[in-house]
Amino acid sequence: MKVGVARETAPGERRVALVPEVIGKLIAGGHEVLVEQGAGDGAAIPDGAYVEAGARSVSTDELYGEADVVLRVQKPSEAEVGRLRKGQAVVGFLQPLIDPGGAQRLAERGATAISLDMLPRTLSRAQTMDALSSQANVGGYKAVLIACNAFGRYFPLLTTAAGTAKPANVLVLGIGVAGLQAIATARRLGAVVRAYDVRSETREQAESLGGQFLVLKSVSDASGSGGYARELSAEERAAQQEELNGHIAGMDVVITTAQVPGRRPPVLVTEAAVRAMKPGSVIVDMAASALGGNVELSKADEVVVTDNGVTIHAPTNLPATMPAGASNFYARNISALLLHFLKDGTLNVDLSDEITAGTVVTHEGAVVHEQVKKLLQPAGESSESSAGTPPAAGTPPAAGRPPAPDAPGAPTSSSPTPASGRGAASAPGGAR
């Protein structure tokens, strides 16, 4: 089989789907690897490195004309979808729950679409394929570095002849993969770290990394199924927010990680909480997107400095800011998933397999993933009916759908939940 590696075209995306170190496994399995020219430039991997690893460096036309399966990070653009051939497969973060119309267009092209962000991540055999967790690790690490750089003071306790610097007080909201890595990184830098999550079972995870678990008297345990958080009632949310605001006010750095794909993230840090923080304090909103963020005053991909001197960073794609490290992890995830599909030199789409059924969105000209099919149905149509006209590009998913796997927690919940992670069962670095 010919495996293609596409050059990413999404703005700001610097990662690449495969790195030279991983290509050898595919070649050893009898597969040919084609890499689009310039695919690794953003991650500082020259075309020659791929050639030395045994791949062929090809043009865009050659890639889409020859490859049986195209590996990528972000979903393909309209132009790239138009290049796909009938029967060709595309693998990456395709985001079908956010853009079901894009899935419909892939089906119309006759492509087999395999989405890494739909992986059933509670399966132990899927751990090596879990790109959401590996990229969340990168994000949690980088969020702390951004905060440290913006803080303007020391993170650790420091005693010198010129005086003593107190350690920074850091609060991490959401103890999932990203949150755990943020806790670990801030502790390594010497900060005093507190962490909060509505799921009581995350306490041990936070404390094992040196963090102090913040216990709110106003909210009882809100653990849900699969290690995710349940939705809080309106009364619980209000009580939680009031008590949380008091803790936020005393922090030097706050890092938030709660996401619900396709919807506005829950607001965890209100404007009032920001106004109560000390001048020079820093917030990093890891959930920031065009839909909003965990911080009421954050603006996606902008740095906001409030009137009272609080700096709010709202990066929307932190893994892309560490392209070499993030690509190394991602390449191992996507190659593991690809090898799961490859049988006797061909792509075997066995929808009776849990991993296959969870990740395959389109196949043989149709949308086959049940969640995506429901999103494509016209309002009022029963779930047994066939998919209808897809919504216009950018239309949010229909209300009532469950959250995507990279956003543990119930839709519309304002409770902190892990961002892009398996929940409390995961540990920094992707180890289980």
Q: Which amino acid is at 341?
A: F
CA distances from 401 to 151, 272, 329, 374, 376 (A): 39, 31, 30, 9, 12
Instruction: Give me the residue label for tokens 């001197």.
Output: 309
**33 by DSSP, 3-state: which?**
strand
Q: Which two tokens stand for residue 34?
A: 């084609």
Which one of 7, 15, 109, 121 is the catalytic residue? Answer: 121
Q: Clarify whether 141 is annotated catalytic.
A: no
Q: Locate all alpha helices (DSSP H) within 258-302, ordered by sequence.
A: 271-275
Residue 295 CA: distances (Å) to CA of 120, 144, 181, 261: 29, 16, 20, 16
d(CA 392, CA 68): 29
228 is catalytic: yes
Which residue is catalytic, options 127, 135, 241, 289? 127
Clarify whether 130 is annotated catalytic.
Answer: yes
The catalytically annotated residue of 57, 74, 133, 413 is: 133
- Give the tokens for residue 9: 């075209």
Strands (E), 76-230: 89-93, 112-115, 158-160, 163-165, 169-173, 192-196, 212-213
Q: Is-catalytic flag, 154?
A: no
Residues 37 and 300: their CA atoms lie apart, in Å, by 31
The phi-psi region of residue 210 (left if phi > 0; otherwise alpha if psi is between -120 and 50; otherwise beta) is left
Bridge-based pairing state of the strands 32-36 and 2-5 = parallel
Taking a C-beta distance cutoff of 8 angstroms, is the pair 258, 178 a contact?
no
Locus of tokens 């086959």 = 368
Catalytic: 121?
yes
Of 125, 155, 121, nearest to 135 (Cα)? 121
Sign of CA dihedral 412, 415, 416, 419: negative
The owner of tokens 């993030």 is 326
Of 223, 228, 241, 377, catalytic:
228
Q: How many CB atoms lie within 10 A of CB 370?
A: 10
Any residues with CB less than 8 A from the CB of 333 and at least 6 apart, and which? 116, 128, 129, 130, 131, 134
**Candidates 130, 197, 252, 406; catalytic one:** 130
Catalytic positions, written as ranges: 121, 127, 130, 133, 228
